[in-house]
A and B are shown apart, each in its own frame.
Chain A
Amino acid sequence: MSSILVIGEADGKEIKNISQQVSAVAAGMGDVVGLVMGKNISDAGMKLATAKIILADDDKLEYYDPVKFTSVVSQIVEQNNITKILMGATTMGKDLGPRIAAELRWGYLGDCLEAGSEGFVRPAFAGKVLARSNPEGSVVVSIRNNAYPAGESWSGSVENFSGNIPDSTTNTISIEKGGSGTVELTEANIVVSGGRGLENPENYDEHIRPLASVLNAAAGASRAIVDAGWVSHSHQVGQTGKTVTPDLYFAIGISGAIQHLGGMSGSKCIVAINKDPDAPIFKVADYGIIANLFDIVPVLKSKLSN
């Protein structure tokens, strides 16, 4: 009997929510084996929502390394008769998935919006096209955050990985944290994005960041203001930036160029605030306010703070 391998990720003492989402998807497809790799990840790893959990908890796995992690996964695949591997489309998943697929000579489907026994749907052209497939052969799949509800932890069987961990010629020296308290765009339930309507970078700091902070949201940006150097590229939403699918997306002072729409139109609910009634963003928004953003955003922030 073949099984599905879910690769989970620890975030401190907790298992990442995306990993629980992937576990829930896998449970609908067959027998599931979970794997969590890292250093001091056993407490978090045991929370993964799969019936069987393998923990690879080792000093050598402290930082993500594609060569080491691929080796651990391929040993587990061999021992457990795995025919599908599922993981979250995180920065690790999107990096590790292809390398595992190359090692195993399997197919790869990245950043899927739908996954199940009926097949997979992934976005192409920044979400402007959806591509459906139903592979017969073995496949490695990464699944986008917020596409599915999270699975609940349960007490399954736990074992420790006892195979080899190879040496690697790359070495992580440190992790530099971004600005404190910032929520990662691709993991956020709410995203507050600003565009050229803000007029200058100071207004991004004065209006977008505080509103994001009140909502415990991630701060996003249009390409125009990233190219202008107001904020770093890590904030950019759209075709040459990140694709986000939060429950709630605020587009503030963003006209809605097609490249931007591609990166956010999969959001569950979109709010647009713009003074130009003809701005294309209103064509995709669930709720629009046609007004000067400087009149609306301070009121919005103060009402949300209460």
Chain B
Amino acid sequence: MNIAVLIKMVPDTESRLEIVDGKVKEDAFKYMVNPYDEFAVEQAVQFKESVGGKVTLVCLFSDNPGIDTDLRKMMAIGADEAVVLRQEGYRGDKPSTNSKILAEAIKELNADLVIGGVQGIDYYQGATGPMVAHHLNIPHISGVTKLELNGEKITAKRQIEGGLQIIESTLPVLVTAQKDMTKVRFPALKDIMMSKRKSFENRSVSASEENDVETIECSLPPARDGGLIIDGESPEEKVDKLLEKLKMEAKVL
């Protein structure tokens, strides 16, 4: 079974967010593998371990080589090879452009299953997965908390409002992983050593079509001031004061 895993490199969650001239200052960002994509890698490797096949990581990013070490960690988990698409001027907030480029690369892999994270923790659009599926002309199932492989079919549990949608699909299909899908393993030292010998291809790409909406201005949300600390002699008094504020002042009860 050939499995392609979509990997997005996202700014570390500790990154300082500063706005200069209406743009987020990005030059000091350190990048890491999008946490949701790690669940996808783990799931792909588990399927490979049970039925055989190959797991290929497909990542689109700029020429910045600073991401290679982190990608190697995904190979230590058990992915077999990585194809890193290098695009000048790459941006993480262009799902239409990016999905087109990713789909072109995935077509060559003859993947039975394409799997990625439900969303990037940079722009949170959850758009690239469904768009890649569309360009590959295959169905997709997003936000999956449990995925099972039964021969030529998969069964997915998809998180929806108030429950789970249980979906069966033939292959090929694209699935995006929600946090609960798998527990990502810690690779053993020998796997880390092995990963250094695995195929890691850098490929230069360019955009063929751009439909993405351009951001004209970024800003920080209005800062919330610390509010009122409610004092009182007893828990009863504090609660009474709080409830009065919620009813009379904030009018939310």
Q: Which residues of A contact B (CB under 8 A)?
A: 63-67, 70, 90-92, 94-99, 101-103, 105-111, 119-120, 123-135, 137, 139, 168-178, 182, 184, 186-187, 190, 232-234, 236, 239-241, 243, 247-248, 258-259, 265-266, 268-271, 282-291, 295-296, 299-300, 303-304
Structural contact, B162 and A177, CB atoms closer than 8 A: yes
Considering the chains assembled together, what is the distance between the CA atoms of A232 and B124 in angstroms? 21
Tell yes or no: B51 within 8 A of A by CB.
Answer: no
Considering the chains assembled together, what is the distance between the CA atoms of A185 and B122 in angstroms? 21
Contacting residues of chain B (57-108) with chain A, CB-CB under 8 angstroms: 93, 95-96, 99
Q: How many residues of B contact A (CB 8 A)?
A: 80
Structural contact, A124 and B173, CB atoms closer than 8 A: no
Name the contact of B169 in the complex, choosing from A101, A169, A288 (C-beta under 8 A). A169
Q: With contacts A101-B127, A108-B213 known, is A63 near B35, CB below 8 A?
A: no
Further 6 A-B residue pairs, CB within 8 A, beyond A111-B124, A128-B220, A175-B164:
A101-B96, A107-B211, A125-B11, A126-B124, A132-B219, A176-B164
Structural contact, B230 and A95, CB atoms closer than 8 A: no
Interface centre among A120, A285, A287, A290 (most CB of B within 10 A): A287
Structural contact, B227 and A286, CB atoms closer than 8 A: yes
Structural contact, A266 and B221, CB atoms closer than 8 A: yes
Tell yes or no: B194 within 8 A of A by CB.
Answer: no
Structural contact, A67 and B252, CB atoms closer than 8 A: no
Residues of B within 8 A of A169 (CB): 139, 169-170, 173
Can you name the residue of chain B whose Cβ is closest to the Cβ of A294? B235
Structural contact, B160 and A91, CB atoms closer than 8 A: yes
Residues of A within 8 A of B125 (CB): 98, 108-111
Residues of B within 8 A of A94 (CB): 126, 142
- Nearest chain A CB to B101's CB is how many angstroms away? 13
Residues of B within 8 A of A282 (CB): 226-227, 229
* Sample (14) of A-B pairs whose CB atoms are under 8 Å apart: A63-B165, A99-B134, A102-B134, A108-B131, A125-B17, A132-B218, A172-B165, A173-B167, A177-B162, A178-B164, A184-B161, A233-B145, A289-B242, A299-B236
Name the contact of A132 in the complex, choosing from B173, B217, B236 (C-beta under 8 A). B217
- Nearest chain A CB to B244's CB is how many angstroms away? 10
Name the contact of B13 in the complex, choosing from A96, A134, A259 (C-beta under 8 A). A259
Q: With contacts A129-B219, A184-B162, A287-B227 known, is A247 near B252, CB below 8 A?
A: yes
